[in-house]
Amino acid sequence: MRTRARWAGRFRETDPRLVDATVALGLVAATAVVGHQYHPGGWRPFDAQGYLLTALVGLPLALRRVAPVLVLVATCLAFAAYLAAGYQPSLNFWFPAIALYGVAAQRPPRTTAAAAALTALVVLYSGLNAPELGLPASIVQALAVPAVLWLLGNNARRISRRNQKLAVLTAQLREAQEERARRAVADEQRRIARELHDVVAHHMSVINVQAGMADYVFDSAPDTARAALGTITRTSQEGLGELRRILTLLRSGADGVPDTDGDPATWYAPMPGLARLPDVAERVGAAGVPVDLRTVGVPRPLAPGTELCAYRVVQEALTNVIKHARPARATVLVAYRPSELVVTVTDDGRPDHPDPDKLGAGAGHGLIGMRERARLYGGTVDAGPRAEGGFRVCLRLPVTRNDDPRGSRPPA
């Protein structure tokens, strides 16, 4: 079976012109043998001129894909000359028919009609040269043979054109699929980069501040230094846990089965949400920025993606307070409204707070990442300096009263 498939593949890859030349030579050779062996009475014996005329009738078929109309004309004229010389019709009777099929398979109907008329005349002339066939049979033969070959060739032409269109559409579809795949990969890379930025920037900022504090008061206030080291330990553990969760998702196979390395408890760890904002407030407070966490409205379960978006925006906003506005106090207001979730982070930091468009530009994220994350869930982020001093970040996310926690999946 493999050998047969291999040979079939090689045949499909063969140049069609080589195939046509081989067929033409084979038919000419077969016609010469039959003409020499079969010699009914009343016909001219098959001699050198017969061989030459047979070659002139059949060999042009080698070019039937290159110049089908010229091949048909040459074949018909050579066959008419063969009959006029007094030789009996043999297998070369079918050479004009094969040439007509080539014209019908490659040329429009108007050209094919003229080619069919020429072929009908040659076939009729062949029938008239055989008295035993009779005039009625010669006429039927002259009409039927070109008509059938016209229909077969025209159908082949339509199939070929359809296959060409399908090939173009297939190529376009493949290009579109590849473009969608590239776009999906780029989107996923941006999401992962944003997630890593949120995790690393927040936790490393807290660790950096606490490490500096511990070093400064290590001799004068051991208890304060010890508390700072405890905060560093808890913060680094939480950051490593989130990084491990992200890396586990990245190492997951195509079937979605997580990598077996690491702690199994982190494989399906839930995404952080609004319930973990007190932990963020505690870490930021330990870094020297007291946080007042408030809630307006009745808290209710939201989709995981919505809660993760709100959590990351608050985390990034407080991280920016640590990096750009200390000493300061921050307020986080979470408002549950009927059709939206509004999260506002304000601080009373230095009046020379960085410009919103430049905030986080060094890492390529910052407020740009907040806005992209909010846009992913149909929300908006409004950020800017406050008139009374400090900075304000306001996140608005659309929600429904009966928001299904399974209705939205967070980006990995």
For the chain, give every domain's residue range: 2-133, 181-398
Cβ neighbors of 381 (< 8 A, separation 6 or more) are 313, 367, 370, 371, 374, 393, 394, 395, 396
State the Cα–Cα distance between residues 97 and 142, nearest whole angstrom. Answer: 11
Among 180-184, 185-189, 308-312, the least confident range: 185-189
Q: Any idea which of 14-18, 86-90, 352-356, 397-401 has the lowest mean pLDDT? A: 352-356
> Beta strand 330-336 with 340-347: parallel, antiparallel or unpaired?
antiparallel
Decide if pLDDT at 395 tops 90: yes
Which band of pLDDT confidence, cut at 50, 70 and 90, is reported for residue 378? confident
Take residue 207 and report the two structure tokens written for it. 């660790």
Instruction: Please determine, for residue 26, whether its predicted confidence score (pLDDT) is greater than 60.
Output: yes
**Token pair for 16:** 């069609």
- Which region among 78-82, 182-186, 356-360 has the lowest average model confidence (pLDDT)? 356-360
Give the pLDDT score at 393.
94
Q: Which residue has the tokens 């306001």?
A: 394
Which amino acid would we find at residue 344?
T
| pLDDT at site 405 | 46
Place of tokens 């468009």: 357
Per-residue pLDDT tens digits for 299-349? 988 887 788 889 889 988 998 888 887 788 999 999 999 999 999 999 987
Q: Which of 199, 211, 347 is nearest to 286 (CA)?
A: 211
Percent of the chain scoring above 90 in pLDDT: 12
Q: Which tops the pLDDT comparison, 98 or 402?
A: 98
CA 299 from chain centre, in angstroms, equals 42
* Distance (Å) of CA 398 to CA 84, 225, 275, 334: 91, 43, 19, 14
More confident residue, 129 or 380: 380
Average pLDDT value for residue range 85-91: 80
Report how far residue 224's alpha carbon sits from residue 85's, in angstroms, rounded to the nearest whole number. 120
Task: Please give the pLDDT value at position 70.
Answer: 92
CA 272 – CA 245 distance, rounded (Å): 11
User: The sheet that has 291-296: what strands, in order across it?
Assistant: 291-296, 330-336, 340-347, 391-398, 380-385
pTM score over 0.85: no
pLDDT on residue 406:
44
Provide the CATH number for the domain formed by 181-398 in this structure. Answer: 3.30.565.10
Residues whose CB is less than 8 angstroms from the CB of residue 101 and which lie 6 or more positions away in sequence, other chains included: 149, 152, 153, 156
Q: How far apart are CA 70 and CA 164, in angstroms?
A: 25
Could you report the per-residue pLDDT of 238-286, keeping only the tens digit for each?
666 666 666 665 555 444 444 445 454 444 456 788 998 998 898 888 8
Contact assessment for residue 303 and residue 406, using Cβ atoms and an 8 Å cutoff = yes
Cα distances from 291 to residues 83, 143, 233, 321, 342, in angstroms, run: 108, 97, 20, 11, 18
Round to whole Å and give the CA distance between 395 and 344: 6
Gyration radius (Cα) of the chain, Å: 42
Question: Is 359:367 a contact under the CB 8 Å cutoff?
Answer: yes
